[in-house]
């Protein structure tokens, strides 16, 4: 019988990149709880479809449940479960 080697579970860390939606990346800035992270977005999408890089801190931050994300070891960022690249499948 072959034994399967399990991949170690990666724990979120401050500074990790995270993909929350198509073309929406950010970084983890705080981890107030084991499965909750506060992220700061690199850019936010404007009403007209353009990307805004500056604005209020409230527009650029959000809390997420890390239970909804998985670590992509190849690209080294967190992505939503059942996502492929920057698209949801």
pLDDT of the chain, 89 residues: tens digit per residue: 444 444 567 889 999 999 988 778 899 999 999 899 999 998 877 778 777 776 666 668 899 999 999 999 999 999 999 766 555 54
For position 3, what pLDDT does the model report? 43
CB 54 within 8 A of CB 48: no
Query: Does residue 2 lie in a domain region?
Result: no
Provide the domain count of the chain.
Answer: 1
Q: What is the pTM of this model?
A: 0.74
Query: Does residue 40 lie in a domain region?
Result: yes
CB 16 within 8 A of CB 78: yes
Query: Does residue 48 lie in a domain region?
Result: yes
Query: Does residue 3 lie in a domain region?
Result: no
Q: Which domain holds residue 27?
A: 17-82
- Give CA–CA dist 28/14, Å, rounded: 5
């Amino acid at each position: 019988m072959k034994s399967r080697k399990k991949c170690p579970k990666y724990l979120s860390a401050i500074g990790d990149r995270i993909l929350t939606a198509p073309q929406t990346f950010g970084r983890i800035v705080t981890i107030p709880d084991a499965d909750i992270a506060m992220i700061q977005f690199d850019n936010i999408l404007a009403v007209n479809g353009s990307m805004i890089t500056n604005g209020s801190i409230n527009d650029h931050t959000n809390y997420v449940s890390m239970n909804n994300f998985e670590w992509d070891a190849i690209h080294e960022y967190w992505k939503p479960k059942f996502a492929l690249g920057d698209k949801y499948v």
